[in-house]
Chains A and B, each alone.
Chain A
Amino acid sequence: MTALAADRRTFLKGLGLLGAATLVPGCATSSKSPGSGSAASGELALQSNLSSEQAKAAMEKLVAAYNKTGGSQVKLNTVASEIFRTQLPTYLTSANPPDVYTWYAGSVADSYAKKDLLLDVSSVWDSMGNYSKAMQTLSTSSAGQKIFVPTSYYWWGMFYRKSNFAKWGVTPPKTWAEFVAVCKTIQSKGIPPIGIGLGDTPWVASAWFDYLNIRINGAPFHRQLLAGQGNFTDPKVKAVFTKWREVLPYFDPKGKSFPFQEATSALLAGKTGMFLIGTFFADSAPKDALDDIDFFQFPIIDPAVPVAEEAPTDGYFASKKVQDVDGTKKFLTWLATAEAQEIYVQNSSGTAIPANPDGKSADTPLVRKGKAMIEGAAEITQFFNRDSSDALQPTADAALTKFLDKPDQIDKILADWQAAAQKVFKA
């Protein structure tokens, strides 16, 4: 008995150690406090949310390349993207904030500029005359200053495996009617036609809302709605959901339980037919499977509505409180060059397209097709949170996941959404 007791004691001691070991990394992440990249003069702190493995490695290469050019030394601080998003307001308002940040163009950047937190980078744009008009507009604040330096963009599309489409005998649809027919055929083979991943990443559903809205009501209406000038109880918004309901039976029921990364695996394994997603999904896909991947444009619903596509633009902005203004602007000017953007594209998964028109994108049929689709679009939208604000996104997540579950309650859902959005716009 005593021997047993002693054993137990050592066992418990071991458990205790195990417990301590699990606690330690917990502490390490929680101590990652805002402002940890405080910069001494001559050194710039770059706060990056590009935390997926390939993107992070590319950022390290990019910074190393700049540090060789002899400007201020840049120190890269990569933060997990979800933490970065929630901490960004804290970073920007702290007394000694990091200098430069990766973030998104459009009204989401403008929302920080309105609070006077961003550095005016108009002089950086002097060297960026070749950038498109759309990029300029996206980078300009409502006060008319340039506050953002775009470096790359990507596209959203309906991705599928070429070999599976051939096996099922379907071809990429162009119109809504053709799309529904494709769904029917794939379902008759026993495969859920439309994949989705909402567990943990409920914002993926916003892509459906965005696309249906820009296809039915057009991009200007969509933008106004997200800017708080519309109303989610508008019959035009309800029409979006009526259309969506037509294809609800074709969604993968398991998609509610897992995140988009697993939905990607399901698509690649042939367990779903197609998947509306941005090209960043390639980060969690094996390289060899990518050769079999193709996409088609979100089907046209009303040919009278000018075609818009979602092409989110990524880039950088800087804190208003930077100490080394010249050094920061020099770094941003370098980031805007084709050379810098190519370094990033070559070292990441390669599905991002340089924002500088002179920058070469990865030379694959997929990227060429994506780039052509965006260039042919009459209008460009960013994405739900980027066209509104990070604060509005959770209201969309709640409304859209509820709709997917209980489409009957659409009127109540839209009323609740409007009430929640109202609160965000007032705050």
Chain B
Amino acid sequence: MFWPAVQGFWLALTSWDGLSAPRFVGLGNFSDMVSDPIFRTALKNTAIWLVLFGGLSVVGGFGMALLLQKERRGVGIYRAALFTPVVFSLVVTALIWRVFYQPDGLVDTVFRTVGLGNFIRPWLADPDTALYAVIVPALWRQIGYVMVLYLAGLKAVDPALYEAAKVDGASAWQRTRYVTIPQLKGVNSVVLSVIVIDSLRSFDIVWSMTKGGPYHSSELLSTYMYSTAFQSTQLGYASALAVVIFVLALAVILGYLIRAFREET
């Protein structure tokens, strides 16, 4: 299980086209990265993706969970509806949304109906909108998933705490802020790990919608790694990119865990 990972680290120090023997270049791949404009775009986009995709899916998922936690008539239908996108494979999701984004497709029609016809552009082919146009369907799917995690967390909160807070005269906002959120700490760390891992490996949806294009404007580190490895067959450089992704994921998650431990002790 660990051998391929170790081998990846070794390949990151080589120049390799997949055919001839790997040639050792030391840290050459990493110094190339510094001057590689596509790498910088990919890094920036990955950060945007982490913040927007991660942030909005936490906010959205948590909000939906709060709204739908109470057992009311028909609430199950709403929960199921929000969860449905999760069961579709990402590639299928991408295909559906590509149809929406087509010229004169659903998105354009909606914009025209609400009188925003001037804003219409080739969503996936415009470098200014491509990345955001891909984040939307990714969110559409992720929010349902995060909601389920939070719903489970909310179910585990002891109702006695709410009653006690109510008796003390706490408003609905105060109950959420001082009871619910602190109680969800355990779920939060799970959600955070899931989100960070999901955003760093978000590959399939970007690849099937834009392939990182137009001209690398929606490139993430993961799609850039794939295209350098399998389209340009620069496997050494691609391995170096993989190492960067690995270090980033590890740093974010370790950072959170260390903070969480410190708070506990």
Chain A interface (Cβ within 8 Å of chain B)? 1, 4-5, 8, 11-12, 15-16, 18-19, 22-23, 26, 86, 89-90, 92-93, 115, 117, 198-200, 202, 253-254, 256-258, 390-391, 393-395, 397-399, 401-402, 405, 416, 420, 423-424, 426-427
- Complex formed: what's the CA distance from A92 to B19 in Å? 9
| Cβ-closest chain B residue relative to A200 | B211
> Can you identify 29 A-B contacts, CB atoms within 8 angstroms?
A4-B74, A5-B76, A15-B87, A19-B87, A22-B87, A22-B88, A22-B92, A23-B89, A26-B91, A86-B230, A89-B17, A89-B19, A90-B18, A93-B19, A198-B214, A199-B124, A256-B122, A256-B126, A257-B125, A258-B102, A391-B234, A394-B232, A397-B213, A398-B215, A398-B216, A402-B215, A405-B214, A423-B32, A427-B234
Partner of A117, one of B19, B211, B213: B19
With known contacts A198-B125, A199-B124, A254–B87 Cβ distance under 8 A: no
- Taking the complex as formed, is B20 at the interface, i.e. its CB lies under 8 A from any CB of chain A? yes
Given A90-B18, A394-B232, A397-B213, are A254 and B122 neighbors across the interface (CB < 8 Å)? yes
Residues of B within 8 A of A198 (CB): 125, 214
> In the complex, what residues of B have CB within 8 A of residue A395's CB?
232
> Which B residues from 217 to 235 make CB contacts under 8 A with A?
227, 230-234
Question: Is B161 engaged at the interface, CB distance under 8 Å to the other chain?
Answer: no
Chain B contacts for A256, CB-based, 8 A:
122, 125-126, 214
| Bound CA span A5–B89, Å | 26
Complex Cα–Cα for A212 and B127 (A): 26
A23–B83 Cα distance when bound, in Å, is: 17
Central interface residue in B37, B73, B76, by most chain A CB within 10 Å = B76
Total contacts A-B at CB 8 Å: 102
Q: Enumerate chain B residues within 8 angstroms of A420, measured Cβ to Cβ.
A: 38
- The CA of A200 and the CA of B98, in the complex, are separated in Å by 11
Q: Which residues of B contact A401 (CB under 8 A)?
A: 213-215
B189 at the interface (CB under 8 A from A): no
Contacts of B37 in A (CB 8 A): 416
Interface: B110 (CB within 8 A): no
Report Cα–Cα, A257/B100, bound state, in Å: 12
Among A18, A23, A26, A405: residue with most chain B CB under 10 A: A405
Report, nearest first, the 3 A-B pairs whose CB atoms are least far apart.
A19-B87, A256-B125, A402-B215
User: Residue B174 at the A interface, CB < 8 A?
Assistant: no
Interface pair B17/A427, CB less than 8 Å apart = yes
Interface residue B103 (Cβ < 8 Å from any Cβ of A) = yes
Q: How far is the CA of A307 from the CA of B169 in the complex (A)?
A: 88
